[in-house]
Structure 1
Amino acid sequence: MLVMLGGLAILAVVLAFGFYLHVKALMASAPKPGAVTVSDTVVRPSAWQSRMKAVGTLSAVHGVELTTQVAGVIKTIAVRSGAQVRAGEVLVTLDAAPEEAQLASLQAAADLAHTTLERARRLMTGQTVTQAAIDADEANLKVKQALVDQQKALIAQKTLRAPFSGRLGILQVNLGQYLTPGTRIASLQDLRAMHDDFVVPQIDIARLSRGQPVSVRVDAYAGRVFHGQITAINSEVDLNTRNVTVRATVPNPDGLLRPGMFVHTEVTTGAPRELLTLPASAITYNSYGASVYVVVPAKTGTGKIVQQVFVTTGPTRGDQVTVLNGLKAGQTVVTSGQLKLSPGAAVRIDNAVQPPDAVHPKPAEQ
């Protein structure tokens, strides 16, 4: 019985060892996984200019809603919607016939007062008129002349002139229309220069000063950059948002920018410095932090493998991300194909197609 049990035990050991050798042989003969195709780039330092980003709203340096000061019926409209006008140019006139008739009456009264005063002065030489009478006539003439001047000013208000050179908006009135004081006639905007008003958190106010350069981009003109500078910083902080309003002035010689446009504003702050940059596609983000795959020579053979390295990222611009810690200049980093990688995986480099790495990327064409 003992001999039988011992034989069975030996047989079990022999079978187990044989199975182990068989599995090992199968594993040795199994095809090894191939190298993963990736693209890569060399980590290099780039000149990095710190910038503050904000969304602003444009307004004309000189812009106004034209209105009438007095009531009246429109007699003439001398301009068209959208016209370029000069300072002092007549835009709209109101019917002033009643006021002109009143002016004629007042002028006649003033002329009579002047004649009366001159007659009194001649009679004074014969001592037939007192000085008191002369003084009364002089005062009467001044009153009559003041009424004439007042009526002339009222008639002048019947003519609307351009307060400055600029471009008219769409006219909101028609010939023969009766206007009340304050009726909106049209918008007049001087488009040669624009104000860009934007807000920044109060913590950033120390980084701003008058004269700092700004760059402005508008969705309507993709790829076009307009340059200006900060001309004013508000003297108070908004109590609700704790933000500060900043104003930049942007030359607009072509008249492309229009009041009311939303713009993307960047303010240049500080001196340029050298920072390591990578395409944004090279960075992998997970719950443990940001990481990249660094390409290194394989320990055996002539191929290449990757090592996962955790990094600290910084500011971004366009398609680029700055790397503050974790990498050194000259290292090679995978830029695409990371989803198939794991630490130690073999890779094959194919840089026929590279991911975007532009400082100011252009939007895709519609």
Structure 2
Amino acid sequence: MVKISALASLPFLVSTLLVVPSISQADIQAVSCLVGPSKSATLSSGVPGLLETIDVQRGEEVEREQVLFSLNSNVEEASLALESARVAFAQRTLQRNQRLIERGILSESERDEMDTELSIARLQADLAEARIADRIIQAPFPGIISSLESEEGEYIDNTPVMQLVQIDPLELELVLPLSAFGRFSVGDVIDIELVEPVGESMPAEITSIDRFIDPSSGTFVIYLALNNTDNVIPPGINCRLPTSA
């Protein structure tokens, strides 16, 4: 690779990078175009434990915050019951001594001690509830379960359990030659031709454009969002720019 130093070469570089042949969109030939999900997440648990239930099946459509799977929480539920009992006891102790407090028979330090014990018991109960919630995994976004990686009864520790993908909207990855650089802008809506089994052209909105050229191939990538309300367009198919404007 030839390196041209600093300021002396700047005009040459500017003219080389910014002068793009004037061509119509019909003349642009995409190097490749692939339809994929707009989001994809491999779901696991933040805490280790026994995988007790898987509440969905592969291919099932799920809503945001829908329960997907849960770990055994017998120990955590017992801890919550214990802390809840401590909260109830601290409340009864405070209630029994309320008249003594109002009459000034109990000192401020004694009253403060009872208040503190109740507050600590409540915090411990909240902590126990949070630990139970950590063992119940919900969908971070609406989508479709594309695969199941674990089975009920397995012990998991940062182990993939399932894959969740969002296919509405879909994301299109359009690889274009250098000659098309600067021809498109974020927010533009262009027609994209989808191959079989769809076999038709649909409008897609440009969401982002790579600002760097791949020097080895002389290409750059444009990403587009394609509505797929009824989930009829399968991810994984190819696409292309229409041959006519």
Instruction: Tell me the TM-score range normalised by the shorter chain.
Output: 0.7 to 0.9
Change (3 A) 1:172 1:127: same
- For 2:132, what is the secondary structure of its paired residue? helix
Give the residue type in structure 2 aligned to 1:264: C
Equivalent residue for 1:147? Answer: 124
Gapped regions of structure 2 (runs ≥ 5): 1-23
Equivalent residue for 2:226? Answer: 250
- For 2:182, what is the secondary structure of its paired residue? helix
Equivalent residue for 2:163? Answer: 187
Query: Do residues 90 (structure 1) and 67 (structure 2) align?
Result: yes
Give the residue type in structure 1 aligned to 2:127: Q
The answer to whether the 8 Å contact 1:216/1:263 transfers is no
Distance, in Å, in 2 between the alignment partners of 1:191 and 1:239 is 28
Give the residue type in structure 2 aligned to 1:263: N
Q: Looking at both structures, which has the greater relative contact order when contacts are Cα pairs under 8 Å and sequence separation is at least 6?
A: 2
Distance, in Å, in 2 between the alignment partners of 1:169 and 1:90 is 16
1:63 to 36, 40, 43: 40
Equivalent residue for 2:209? Answer: 233
Change (3 A) 1:151 1:57: farther
Identical aligned residues as a percent: 24
Equivalent residue for 1:115? Answer: 92
Equivalent residue for 1:336? Answer: none
- For 1:112, what is the secondary structure of its paired residue? helix
TM-score, length of structure 2 as denominator length: 0.75
Distance, in Å, in 1 between the alignment partners of 2:138 and 2:156 is 16
The structural deviation recorded for 1:103 is 1.0
Equivalent residue for 1:168? Answer: 145
Distance, in Å, in 1 between the alignment partners of 2:92 and 2:213 is 65
Gapped regions of structure 1 (runs ≥ 5): 1-47, 268-316, 318-358, 361-366
The answer to whether the 8 Å contact 1:215/1:227 transfers is yes
2:185 to 184, 205, 209: 209
The answer to whether the 8 Å contact 2:147/2:163 transfers is yes
Deviates more, 1:61-70 or 1:210-219: 210-219
Greater share of residues in strand: 1
The structural deviation recorded for 1:97 is 0.9
- For 1:206, what is the secondary structure of its paired residue? coil
Structure showing greater Rg: 1
Query: Do residues 74 (structure 1) and 51 (structure 2) align?
Result: yes
The structural deviation recorded for 1:249 is 0.6
Change (3 A) 1:51 1:217: same
Give the residue type in structure 1 aligned to 2:170: M
Q: How many residues align?
A: 220
Q: Aligned runs of 1:181-330 on 2, under 5 Å?
A: 182-200=158-176, 204-221=180-197, 223-234=199-210, 236-237=211-212, 244-259=220-235, 261=236, 263-266=238-241, 317=243
Change (3 A) 1:129 1:263: same
The answer to whether the 8 Å contact 2:51/2:151 transfers is yes
The answer to whether the 8 Å contact 2:29/2:177 transfers is no
Give the residue type in structure 1 aligned to 2:206: I
TM-score, length of structure 1 as denominator length: 0.52
